[in-house]
Structure 1
Amino acid sequence: MPTFLETVHVVNGETLHLDYHQKRINDAFQNYFPTSPVLNIRDYFASLDIPQHGSYRARLVYRTEWDFHEFIPYQSKNINKLAIVNTGDFEYPFKFADRSHILKKIAEHPEADDIIFSKQGKLQDSSIANLAFKKDNKWYTPKEPLHWGTTRRRLLDEQVLEERDILETELKDYSHICLINVFRPLSDENALLLPDSIV
């Protein structure tokens, strides 16, 4: 039975975008635990002592029940250089708690701050985030990402992002790449220049 993880941004006691985290939990239960009652993330947070000041990474580990939680003060990781790696047969459709394969791939590329998975020449995700690519003042995200990201899903719903295949051979056509997750908003300020950021 796989173990899953939800990482929620908590700012001054407020839990952000819980509806999208619940959607991902719903999908995980539909695929892996279809006969079990779906966990409710709002109810769980209501039972917790949530830090009221500062920015925190709330880690919630679950299977058919909540297994574990912790609140970690958030510290941004400085990412400037990215290495492209072959996805191969690796699949990460949901936010599994086991990230050993991802960590192994990162360790193989000390020249980079993070990695980008690429499957058959199509870029997918970094190790910590979904991706957005800027071209002609418009942002695009890979049509077939490695994992279900809540921020990516929200930005698609808000029509800020558009899905398309992002090919390695076409990176020169894009001006910026932005790593997006619950802590990393989509913006020019948070984006890296292409192709300079690829090593």
Structure 2
Amino acid sequence: MDSVKYFETIKCEDNEVFNLEYHNKRVANTIAKNFDLSEYIYPINEKLLRCKVIYNEDEIIDINYFEYKKREIKSFKIVNNNEIEYSKKYLNREELDNLYNKRDNCDEVIIFKNNLLTDTSIANIAIYYENIWITPKTPLLYGTTRQRYIDQGFLKQSDITLEMLNKASKIALLNAMIDFDVLEDYSFSL
């Protein structure tokens, strides 16, 4: 039987590897074993790269580097799914991909579970609401960038309803590649 596979997406640029401490912590939390990813990651050039580390509970399986180009995201389809489970960064993203495929003509989906905001299919999310940045208390995935901003005290955790999302003056997408990407020009559809 094949073991469950996981992955990390790590930003590399100018031969620098970003936020490894947080990626190492997530790997340790995922498989209850420590891998020092710095022993495996060697950027192949100075360009902006997405390093994809595939692993299971026993070993690092593969490491690939891809030149990164940020997607333009301005429109979101709001989808509800009370069954989705993506608490670990599973290599098998079928559940997320199925939700993404319901985006209609929108660029991305915003996923609600049990009437609360969770994530998008590619990033954690934060909203600027009542003069502070808040992020869902229960995201689908506890992202490394999200955790870094919480640790810095910049981002607060809260349950976020659709009404709060609609009242937000701006939103931000958070992941290892785009960091904290603030969007002020965006739209939602139900």
**TM-score scaled to structure 2, two decimals?**
0.92
CA drift at 1:68: 0.9
Specify the alignment match of 1:144 in structure 2: 138
Structure 2 residues without counterparts, runs of 5 or longer: none
CA drift at 1:172: 2.9
The sequence identity of aligned pairs, in percent, is: 28
CA drift at 1:28: 0.6
Name the CA distance, whole Å, in 2 between partners of 1:192 and 1:115.
17
Q: Which amino acid aligns with 2:188?
A: I
| Residue 18 of structure 2 corresponds to residue 16 of structure 1 | yes
Specify the alignment match of 2:63 in structure 1: 69
Specify the alignment match of 1:33 in structure 2: none
Q: Which amino acid aligns with 1:8?
A: I
Specify the alignment match of 2:72 in structure 1: 78
Q: Which amino acid aligns with 1:18?
A: L
- Moved >3 Å (runs of 4+): none
Q: What secondary structure does 1:70 align onto?
A: strand
CA drift at 1:111: 1.6
Greater shift in the superposed pair: 109-118 or 71-80:
109-118
Q: Aligned residue pairs: how many?
A: 186
For residues 116-171 of structure 1, what are the alpha-carbon distances to aligned partners after superposition, in whole Å with 9 as ceiling and x for unaligned? 11011100000000001002431100000000200000000000100001101322
Matches within 5 A, 1:1-199: 1-30=3-32, 37-45=33-41, 48=42, 50-63=43-56, 64-186=58-180, 190-193=182-185, 196-199=186-189
For residues 59-105 of structure 1, what are the alpha-carbon distances to aligned partners after superposition, in whole Å with 9 as ceiling and x for unaligned? 00000211111100001011100111112211001111111121122
Q: Which amino acid aligns with 1:174?
A: A
Q: What secondary structure does 2:22 align onto?
A: helix
Name the CA distance, whole Å, in 1 between partners of 2:114 and 2:167.
19
Judge conservation of contact 1:133–1:177 (CA < 8 Å) in 2.
yes
CA drift at 1:58: 0.2
CA drift at 1:174: 1.2
Q: Which amino acid aligns with 1:162?
A: K
Higher strand share: 2
Cα RMSD between the aligned structures? Answer: 1.4
